[in-house]
Chains A and B, each alone.
Chain A
Amino acid sequence: MTATTGGSAAATEFLTVPFDEVLTRYEPVMGLEVHVELSTATKMFCGCAQSFGAEPNTRTCPVCLGLPGALPVVNATAVESAIRIGLALNCQIAQWCRFARKNYFYPDMPKNFQTSQYDEPIAFNGYMDVEIPAEDGEGVETFRIEIERAHMEEDTGKSTHVGGATGRIHGADYSVVDYNRAGIPLIEIVTKPITGAGSRAPEVAKAYVSALRDLMKALDVSDVRMEQGSMRCDANVSLMPIGAEVFGTRTETKNVNSLRSVERAVRYEITRHAAILDAGDKIVQETRHWHEDTGITTSGRPKSDADDYRYFPEPDLVPVAPSREDVERLRATLPENPAVRRRRLQGDWGFTDLEMRDVVNAGAVDVIEETVAAGASPAAARKWWSGDLARRANAQGVAVTELGVTPAHIAELDALVSGGRLNDSMARQVVEGVVAGEGTPTEVADARGLELVQDDGALQAAVDKVIEGNAGVVEKIRGGKVQAVGALIGQVMKEMRGQADAARARELILSTLGVEG
């Protein structure tokens, strides 16, 4: 959280300085705090199921409601996930650590405290290498983010605010709270101050959160869906004059809940701070709220005397002391680093940087790997998953893996195309049928009667008919304009109602005309 006090710099609230100009005079310093909700079956300290979107207050019990006498017990899987996250971030794992109570009166926790870790985090002193596009536009640069700590805590309930400004009859504002989320295991990952990124600071911030998200996915410890709040980022930003040794006053921007917003919010705060400092004013140390729609931050809450959380060791929980054997056992379960894996797969598949970027952006790395394993060529797997299927997924607002199309389907489809049964346009119709739930590619092709006509007799008849009806085009082709054959191929395909192999049609037209292709 933030520290110190101060009034609001209202006069300069929305002034900013052009980003490139800021960087000629100031060095940005960032600190990123990322909360990751673990995808355990149950909450951190009780057996309540966690499920996004359940009816309000149907996932609570005496423990997570903080009823008198209820005693928490730590979720063993959550501790293992915390250790695996720590190890994947190259952290040291504590020999012995405790939970602590963070006391406060905001009603998002019914206990009046949040169970967290204070001065004894389970993981500390790590780092993560992130990649940003190189400044010359070719290849990537690696930037090392030092990790201060990763600690265990629990999520809070969800408050909804009612009344007041919307003019309710009974006047006074009030809030209603759903405690389903209260107690879900959270890992908070805190960086050390990130310096030296200069003008790349916003990109580095985005790349870091993106790399963290990939890492959590690879570890299979969280859904990391920023839009659903299972991964959330708070961005601390300050500026100091270039060459200075002491960091400037920072602000902490909350609610930065998309990768794009991480970059935009950091960039905005850098330009806003510069405007205030240039005017000779002081930065107010405060929390700020990010507004995705307008792309600005607004003043949240300055630090006050009430921000004394009176942390003390949680007396209802015993310490967590992972044995070194357990830590090593968990280390052995770590997946390949996502960036290393991407480079390995790109090499195996022979994709260009641009092709690989499309694949990554489509969220299709895993599914292409599975499709290739199921027998498809890498090129075909890429073509479908980051092309046609990615577009369909985009249009429906779902992940490419949620279309109902499996890697086995695409491998089967690829076999049908390479085996000569389907051409590209037929294959697209087959995919449409698979997406619509009509069955496997073979079933869809059968049901829809999709099959290239292999019988040259029928094709030859169509070719003859088209040649007869297009004397002008035929003249051009015979005169040497072989590319004019395209118009005839189109008509032949139409005659064949699409069920012909266009390459074979071309061959037949040219041989019938006695022209060399």
Chain B
Amino acid sequence: MSNLSRDDVAHVAMLARIELEEHELDTLAGQLDQIVDWVGQVNEVAAADVPPMSHPLPLVNVTRPDEVRPSLSAEQALANAPDPEDGRFGVPRILDEE
């Protein structure tokens, strides 16, 4: 039913910043195809009167009041950051954009 090509896999991998070897593209195209097929079985039991859902719980409007709660300290926030600088997160060079 689905038919994912090597190009599809390469494109999705690029979007997700996952580096794949050439030989992995074939393997993954096949595996992803199977996954999509399995998930696609839902279509066989869900008739047109069953709307698509993005959440397993039949809930709406779960909100919280606009009340301040304590934040982390800068030290805590940066505890696992590899390159903190002056209380900020250091990140690698960002290409092509300001």
Contact = CB atoms under 8 A, between A and B. Distances in A.
Interface of A: 40-42, 46-49, 55-62, 65, 73-79, 96, 98, 103, 105-107, 110, 159-162, 164, 172-179, 289, 300-301, 305-306, 308, 310, 312-315, 317-322
Nearest to B58: A318
A107 B94 contact: yes
Given A58-B71, A107-B91, A178-B87, 15 more contacts: A58-B87, A59-B71, A60-B72, A60-B77, A61-B69, A75-B63, A103-B15, A110-B89, A159-B94, A174-B83, A179-B77, A305-B11, A318-B55, A318-B62, A319-B54
B74 A177 contact: no
A48 B73 CA distance: 11
A75 B74 CA distance: 23
A308 B15 CA distance: 7
Interface string B47-60: 00000001101011
Contacts of B60: 96, 318-321
Nearest to A308: B15
B93 interface: yes
B86 A56 contact: yes
Contacts of B97: 106, 300-301
A312 B12 CA distance: 14
Contacts of B98: 161, 289, 300
Interface of B: 11, 14-15, 17, 54-55, 57, 59-74, 77-78, 83, 85-94, 96-98
Given A49-B68, A321-B61, A175 B93 contact: yes
Contacts of B66: 40-42, 75-78
26 contacts: A41-B67, A55-B87, A57-B89, A58-B71, A58-B74, A60-B72, A60-B77, A61-B70, A65-B77, A75-B66, A77-B65, A98-B54, A106-B94, A159-B91, A159-B94, A161-B98, A164-B93, A177-B88, A178-B87, A179-B89, A301-B96, A308-B11, A318-B59, A318-B60, A320-B60, A322-B61
Q: Is the interface of B mostly helix, strand, loop or mixed?
A: loop
B36 to A, nearest CB: 15
Contacts of B61: 318-322
Nearest to B75: A57
B63 A315 contact: no
Contacts of B68: 41-42, 47-49
